[in-house]
Each structure stands twice: as C-alpha cells, then as structure tokens.
Structure 1
Amino acid sequence: MKYILIMLLLLVILITFILFGAHNNPILSFNYLLNQKEFRASTLLSLIFLSGFIIGWVTCGLFWLRTGLALVYAKREVKRLTQQQIAQAVNVTSTNCSNHSDGA
C-alpha cells in the first residue's frame, strides 16, 4: 500500500511537470561550467528535477548500503562475543566442577 501511494505521488508530480511544461515555452539561456546552451524552460526544469531526483536516490542508496554493512558487522560481532561468552562460561563451569570433585 505504501509503495502504491508513493508511485501515485510520483505520477501526480510527473503530470504536474508535463502540464506546467506545456504552457512554459520561453527559451532560456543556460550557462554551465564550460559552455552555454539555450533550452526551453520546460526542458530545463525537467532536467534539473531529474538530476536532483537521481542524486537524491544515489545519496539515500549509499546511506542505506552503509547502514546495511554496519548491521552485518554488528551481527557478526554479537555472534563472536556470544560464542566467546559461552566458551568462558564453559571454562568457568568446568573449573568449578573440577574444584568440587577434588574437595570431596
């Protein structure tokens, strides 16, 4: 349900941009790092929106990947510490058992 709502929201945004672009025909001069080109306003808005959308998804994806890797490392560390704690408990128990059998 959540994904359907997100897709509907994106569809509404896309339709809004298409409608806005249909009424926005002036030519704009766009200066970028090495050159200058002329674009229609709707094309320029679409390109800027698309580039921001892609940059946002890449950034979120990198944070998600970093969090996922941190979770894997944390689970591995918990497993290692649990095994170490079990081994120490077994050693303490075996030491206590041998002390009690010597005293009897």
Structure 2
Amino acid sequence: MKRTRLATPLIAVALMSGATFFAHAQTNQAPTTESRSWNTPPPGTEQAQSAYRDGVEAAQLDMTAKRKIDAKASHLYVHPPVKGAARDEYRSNFTAGYEAAVKHSTGA
C-alpha cells in the first residue's frame, strides 16, 4: 500500500515532465532550406531577390513558349537591368532562379 502511495505521484510527475521536454524540443527546431519554397528568393539584397524572381519568371515563360531552356540565352541575362559591377551579381541570381524553376518543373 505504501509503495502505491509513493509510486503513483512519481509516475505522474515523470509523465508530465517528459511531455514538456518533447514539446520544447519540437518548438526549437532549426529552420531548414526545405521549409523555404523553391520560388522564394534566398536572403540577400532586394536587387538579388529581384534577379532571382526574374529568373524564375523567365524560365516559366521559356517553358510555356517552348523556347530553348537556357538561362544564358534569356534577354534579361544578356541585357541585365542593372549597371556596372552589379551585372555579375544579377546574372548569378538570375541563373539560380532560372535553374530552380526548371528543376521544379521537371521534378528533378
């Protein structure tokens, strides 16, 4: 009888404290890149995000129009809407967005 009086509260405390540990572990998970949508630009400058979105849109238009699937053949890649040193950054982000859209559409 004395064991039951002692064991019952200990079991209850053990069960309740375990639940808080599990709940705490679930809320503190680090965000992953998989939680980000494929067409969401990666963190960066507004110009880099715009270039990524332009790449996604260009790829979708090329696929819809059944044009050659090549980021470097796109008008915005050849003639980026930025000047000077920002051209290389624009082109790399444009290509990343373009390739993400192609990969998503082909399921690769």
Question: Is the pair's TM-score, using the shorter chain for normalization, greater than 0.5?
Answer: no
Determine which structure has the larger strand proportion and give its number.
Answer: 1
TM value normalised by structure 2: 0.36
Q: Which has the higher contact order (CA 8 A, sep 6+)?
A: 2
Q: Which has the larger radius of gyration?
A: 1
Q: TM-score by structure 1 length?
A: 0.37
* Larger helix proportion of the pair: 1
